[in-house]
Structure 1
Amino acid sequence: MSAAQDLQLRPGQSTELLKELHILTREGKLNQDSRRKLKQVYHLHQFIDQLLKELPAGEDGPAIVDHGAGKSYLGFIIYDLSLKESGRGTVYGIETRQELVERSRALAQRFGFERMQFLHTSAAEAADDQSLPERVELVTALHACDTATDDAIAFGLRKHSAAMVLVPCCQAEVAARLRQGKALSLSRTPLAELWRHPLHTREMGSQLTNVLRCLYLEACGYTVTVTELVGWEHSMKNELILARYTGKPKRSSAERLRALLAEFGLESLEPVRFPALAQEPAE
């Protein structure tokens, strides 16, 4: 079966680009790993393409910032399928590995993708980069590891992003803090049984991290939808967080976020990961 029949490559999509991204082989075939990657990126693109159709954009088109871009599978496919024909909009890829940034720049030049830029920086530092616009329409982070997802959220808030599309990965920070305070928590509440065993600590930390992120986005004026990226058979890192700005911060979400931090002994995380809560008017 050809790749086009297998995953129904989109009309007008560049198969040569997919070959250069090593998603397709030189013969136009898909191996198991690349099939899994392409399925994830296609599914994510469906959400992104719909958002781009609904979100207002400036006269130059939407500014899209992709954090933890890696080889920029997602950025290239967004450009190829959603921006190329319109002649409007820019994709900015943020990546800390210089060799991947240089490779992506060369690939964009080869295919004439003039409105793609790649920055050698981190998500945490990107907000201060003068080559990025003051406002962006969309922030994406596909499998940004551990706190890089939090940095992408902070970037989106700083840039007044109209929407964020996040697929978190390897959430370790909260799990480490739960581990440190485990003895005290076990003596204080039976809820600590939920993370007494190391495997449960990791799983509980991952779950709690994403719950806190969603509450934070709501507290900052976003509506949040949480769904699956693809079936579990394709990826264990499968949680997709979609956030759209409404301009209506939810006080109740801020209160519940703080209550959860207190319940789990994580109050020290508030100024580090949730600084916008301090901007709330006093009760």
Structure 2
Amino acid sequence: MSRAPSRADAAQAAVLAELRPGQSVELLKELHILTREGRLNQDSRRKLKQVYHLYQFIEPLLQELAQDGHAPLLADHGAGKSYLGFILYDLFFKPLGRGEIYGIEWRAELVQRSRELAARLGFGRMRFLDMSVADAAETADLPERFDIVTALHACDTATDDAIAFGLRKHARFMVLVPCCQAEVAACLRQTKALSLSRTPLAELWRHPIHTRELGSQITNVLRCLHLEASGYQVTVTELVGWEHSLKNELILARYTGQKKRSASERLAAILEEFGLAQALAGRFGLDQKE
């Protein structure tokens, strides 16, 4: 006679129902997404939901890259505790049997922890480098080319550094979720008085909260134009519902080789209109003399 499911059994079944097929429960425990008892708290559920949503966007790109026996190379910038990298490896790279993931993170203690976890799990094709995103493009410790560059919540200019890395490494795809962005807002604040006397549009960033919000919006628009001017087809969408994360904009870029001159021209015009050209033209691939 079979026993009726206990409350603990029901809770465990509910957790397993939220996991993707093939997902290692032990990995999620090691990442502290699941408790030792295999439970999900609300914060962990939110975190896992974000990574799974991003995985849904990345998986078809990896499938496309893996055709004809190719071994995909992926660089994960601002990797932090490498939730994304470990889950990508567990769900895709491990069963595929080829390809490598490089996690790039400047906090040495997180890099060491990730190295130890990868060794413990037998994830032999994961590499972790202790360096900033900006320095990664110059190091000899990385391959000359990467297929995919990801950056999940890389703060402020680290997303721009990830884009620069992707361009340098001829990435076929970039998958970016920008985080807190302060550089453009700081530039807008410096020129606010002049802008208010010059154009009524400066009312859009007269109040500090609007300065921050508009700075974030402008930053991502400039990034998209920079990618289009560099030969990428760009799609912008939401990562998850806004109730799960306020840093929710997802930029997907696919290399086509068709560099849009109009994107470069509009990028230059926006920088000029907002008084950002002198400070930021170089960051977005424009010669300040232009």
Same fold (TM over 0.5): yes
The equivalent of 1:128 in structure 2 is 138
Which amino acid in the other structure matches residue 129 of structure 1?
A: T
1:203 aligns with: 213
Does structure 2 retain, via aligned residues, the 8 Å contact 1:63–1:137?
A: yes
**CA deviation after TM superposition for structure 1 residue 56, in Å:** 6.2
Q: What is the one-letter code of the residue matched to 1:38? A: L
Report the CA distance between 1:8 and its aligned residue: 2.3
**What's the % identity of the aligned pairs?**
73
Distance apart, 1:59 and its partner CA? 5.6
Say yes or no: does 1:54 pair with 2:64. Answer: yes
Q: Tell me if 1:224 matches 2:231.
A: no
1:221 Cα deviation after fit: 0.3
CA deviation profile, 1:44-68 (whole Å, cap 9, x unmatched): 0010001111236796611100000
Q: How far apart are residue 270 of structure 1 and its match?
A: 3.9
Deviation for aligned residue 1:86: 1.1
Q: Is the 8 A contact 2:104 2:128 kept in 1?
A: yes
Per the alignment, residue 274 of structure 2 pairs with 264
Match of 1:181 among 191, 206, 215: 191
TM-score normalised to the size of structure 2?
Answer: 0.93
CA pair 56-219 structure 1, distance change in 2 beyond 3 A = farther
Question: Could you tell me how far 1:200 is from its partner in structure 2?
Answer: 0.3
Q: CA deviation at 1:3?
A: 5.8
Distance in 2, matches of 1:205 and 1:195, equals 8
The reply on whether 1:73 has 2:83 as its aligned counterpart is: yes
Q: Does 1:246 align with 2:256?
A: yes
Counterpart residue number, 1:39: 49
Letter in 1 for 2:135: E
Deviation readout 1:58-86 (Å, 9 max, x if unpaired): 96611100000000000000000011011
User: 2:155 touches 2:181 (CA, 8 Å); kept in 1?
Assistant: yes
* Aligned amino acid, residue 158 of structure 1: R
Q: How many Å separate the matches in 1 of 2:68 and 2:184?
A: 38
Q: Pick one of 119, 126, 135 that aligns with 1:109.
A: 119
Structure 1, unmatched stretches of 5+, are: none
Does structure 1 conserve the Cα–Cα contact (< 8 Å) formed by 2:226 and 2:284?
yes
Change (3 A) 1:94 1:197: same
CA contact (8 A) 1:175 1:204 kept: yes
Instruction: Say yes or no: does 1:156 pair with 2:166.
Output: yes
Distance 1:4 1:40 in 2: 21
- Would you say the 8 A contact 2:78–2:152 is kept in 1? yes
**Aligned-partner SS, 2:154:** strand
What CA distance in whole angstroms lies between the structure 2 residues aligned with 1:160 and 1:112? 30
Q: What is the number of residues matched between the two proteins?
A: 279
Task: State the one-letter code of the partner of 1:269.
Answer: A
After superposition, the CA RMSD in angstroms is 1.7
Counterpart AA for 2:56:
Q
TM-fit CA distance, 1:225: 0.4
Q: Give the aligned partner of residue 94 of structure 1.
A: 104
Q: Secondary structure at the match of 2:86?
A: helix
Do the aligned residues in 1 keep the contact of 2:172 with 2:255 (CA within 8 Å)?
yes
Change (3 A) 1:58 1:119: farther
Q: Per-residue deviation at 1:10?
A: 1.8
Task: State the shift of 1:183 in Å.
Answer: 0.3
CA contact (8 A) 2:271 2:281 kept: no
Partner Cα separation in structure 2 for residue 187 and residue 80 of structure 1: 56
Q: Which residue of 2 aligns with 1:5?
A: 14
Contact 1:64 1:92 in 2 (8 A): yes
